[in-house]
């Protein structure tokens, strides 16, 4: 069971922006850091812009920044918006479903309950909750740049 | 978010066997019914045999049947055994992980909690619970054969 890479990159982009609120971040920064495709990341950032979570500052020294406070960004709502679907088995997809058991089967109902339990945990968390503790005892966040994938 | 097709086919194979306990079922029956690859299904059945959930009767009129009572087959345990992993994001995979936030980030912990909540719901269910009610009010299970994918 996996979340889509779109959700994964969305979460990591927001985490990076939340951990670097003192400056503008470029897509290239994030692509280099995670060794992921800049092209794929552009779709993620475009969607984050549309949903009002990230804003872009244009110009030579431009870049991205969070448009909301991390505590205002709910992880459950975010994952619901970035996952294409929660089709846990073929019977969730009416167009693809060929299973003759579907009308009476209780599997779909059970998988729906399980998915709701998964999302309920995420609903209790915000982006702020994901960040490292900032108390005097906590270690600083270390952001090291990896070799870029050109 | 999706389960693998391997889990999906495993669940459907077991559901079909549980709904047809009065006869031996062939892999071809299940492949035709769900319009899925017989080759892929053979891997599913092989694994079900290894785990002691299904037994094969050899010979001309041979076939498959459940080797355990449906109420003895726990859905949570089954899904844990058929899913390759529960890597909800790249940071779950130590070999692939390049994220510099991982050591301090709380996302992985939260996604782990959510996955545990998902599986806890499935742990409460057995294969028997997935089957249609067999009381006098319930509709009979209708198994219609689809045109086969040759």
In a domain, B108, yes or no: yes
In a domain, B136, yes or no: no
In a domain, B145, yes or no: no
pLDDT tens profile B42-88: 999 999 999 999 999 998 889 999 999 999 999 999 999 998 777 77
In a domain, A147, yes or no: no
Interface contact A96, partner B, CB < 8 A: no
Give CA angle at B134 (B132, B135), nearest 5°.
130
In a domain, A36, yes or no: yes
Model confidence, pTM: 0.81
Instruction: State yes or no: ipTM above 0.90.
Output: no
Per the structure, the count of domains in chain B is 1
- Strand pairing report for B54-57 and B63-66: antiparallel
Interface contact A114, partner B, CB < 8 A: yes
- Count CA within 13 A, CB hemisphere, residue A86: 16
In a domain, A139, yes or no: no
In a domain, B36, yes or no: yes
* In contact, A92 and B7? CB cutoff 8 Å: no
Select the more confidently predicted residue: B95 or B28.
Answer: B28
The rounded distance, in Å, linking the Cα atoms of A33 and A146 is 5
User: Nearest chain A Cα to B144, which residue?
Assistant: A100
Verify whether the Cβ–Cβ distance B33 to A103 is below 8 Å: no
Mean pLDDT of B96-124: 85
Chain B interface test: which of A32, A118, A137, A139 (most B C-beta within 10 Å)? A118
Nearest CA of chain B to the CA of A84: how many Å? 8
Judged against a pLDDT cut of 90, whether residue A81 lies above it is answered with: yes
**For A61-93, b where at least 16 C-beta lie within 10 A, e where not — what string?**
eebbbbbeebeebbbbebbeebbeebbbbbbbe
Structure confidence at residue B134 (pLDDT): 61
Nearest CA of chain A to the CA of B61: how many Å? 24
Residues 40-59 on A with a CB inside 8 Å of B are none
Q: Which residues of chain A does B118 touch, with a Cβ-Cβ cutoff of 8 Å?
A: 1, 114-115, 117-118
Interface contact B84, partner A, CB < 8 A: no
User: Nearest chain A Cα to B2, which residue?
Assistant: A88
pLDDT tens profile A19-31: 999 999 999 999 9
**For B58-81, b where at least 16 C-beta lie within 10 A, e where not — what string?**
eeeeebbbbbeebeebbbbebbee
In a domain, B139, yes or no: no
Nearest CA of chain B to the CA of A5: how many Å? 7
Judged against a pLDDT cut of 90, whether residue B133 lies above it is answered with: no
Whichever domain contains B24, its CATH number is: 1.10.10.10
What residues make up the domain containing B31? 5-130
């Amino acid at each position: 069971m996996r979340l889509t890479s779109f959700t994964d990159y969305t979460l990591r982009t927001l985490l990076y922006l939340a951990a670097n609120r003192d400056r503008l971040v470029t897509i290239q920064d994030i692509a280099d850091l995670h060794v992921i495709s800049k092209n794929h990341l552009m779709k993620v950032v475009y969607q984050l812009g549309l949903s009002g979570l990230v804003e872009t500052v244009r110009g030579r020294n431009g870049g991205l920044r969070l448009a909301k406070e991390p505590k205002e960004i709910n992880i459950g709502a975010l994952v619901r918006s970035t996952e294409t679907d929660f089709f846990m088995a073929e019977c969730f997809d009416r167009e693809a479903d060929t299973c003759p058991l579907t009308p009476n089967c209780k599997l779909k109902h059970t998988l729906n309950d399980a998915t709701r339990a998964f999302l309920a945990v995420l609903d209790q968390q915000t982006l702020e909750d994901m960040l490292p503790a900032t108390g005097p005892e906590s270690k600083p966040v270390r952001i090291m740049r990896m070799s870029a994938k050109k």
